[in-house]
Structure 1
Amino acid sequence: MEGTEIVEDEGILRPMKCELNHLTMPDGSAMFMQGDTAVVAGIYGPVEARVQKMMYDKASIEVVYTPIKGPPCVDDRMREQIIKETCEAALIATLHPGTAICINVQELQDSGGLLACTVNAACLALINSGLSMKFMIGAVNCMIEKDSQKLILDPDTTQIQEAKATFTFIFDSSKKDLVSCQTTGRFTEKEFLYSFDKCKEASQCVFQFFRSIVTKYATRI
Structure 2
Amino acid sequence: MEAENEEQRIRPMNCELKVLSRSDGSAIFTQGDTAVVTAVFGPVEVKPQRILIDKACVEALYRPKSGLPCVHDRMHESLLRNTCETSLLATLHPRTSISIIIQEMQDSGGLLACAVNSACLALMSSGIAMKFLVAAVSCMISQEDKLLIDPTNKQLKDSKASLTFVFDSVKKNTVASHTTGSFTQIQYQESLMKCRNASDNIFSLYRDMVKKYASRI
TM bin, normalised by shorter chain, reads over 0.9
Secondary structure class of the residue paired with 2:201: helix
The structure 1 residue matched to 2:93, chosen from 85, 93, 96, is 96
User: Is 1:12 equivalent to 2:9 in the alignment?
Assistant: yes
Q: CA separation in 1, counterparts of 2:216 and 2:51?
A: 36
Show the 5 A alignment for 1:31-42: 31-42=28-39
Q: CA separation in 2, counterparts of 1:110 and 1:220?
A: 30
Secondary structure class of the residue paired with 1:9: helix
Q: Structure 1 residues 219, 9: CA separation in 2 closer, same or farther (over 3 Å shift)?
A: farther
Per-residue deviation, 1:218? 1.2
Number of the residue aligned with 2:45: 48
TM-score, length-scaled by structure 2: 0.96
Would the aligned equivalents of 2:8 and 2:149 in 1 still touch at CA under 8 Å?
A: no
TM-score, length-scaled by structure 1: 0.94
Letter in 1 for 2:65: I
User: Is 1:195 equivalent to 2:169 in the alignment?
Assistant: no
- The C-alpha deviation readout for 1:115-147, integer Å capped at 9, x for no partner, is 00000000000000000001000000000011x
Q: CA separation in 1, counterparts of 2:182 and 2:7?
A: 28
Secondary structure class of the residue paired with 2:6: coil
Runs (4 or more) in structure 1 with deviation over 6 Å come to: none
Would the aligned equivalents of 1:137 and 1:172 in 2 still touch at CA under 8 Å?
A: yes
Q: CA separation in 1, counterparts of 2:155 and 2:216?
A: 39
Number of the residue aligned with 2:182: 186
User: Is 1:208 equivalent to 2:184 in the alignment?
Assistant: no
Show the 5 A alignment for 1:153-192: 153-192=149-188
Q: State, as a whole percentage, how many aligned pairs show the same letter.
A: 52
Consecutive unaligned residues in structure 1, runs of 5 or more = 1-5
Per-residue deviation, 1:214? 1.4
Secondary structure class of the residue paired with 1:111: coil
Number of the residue aligned with 1:60: 57
Consecutive unaligned residues in structure 2, runs of 5 or more = none
Per-residue deviation, 1:157? 0.6
Q: CA separation in 2, counterparts of 1:69 and 1:194?
A: 35
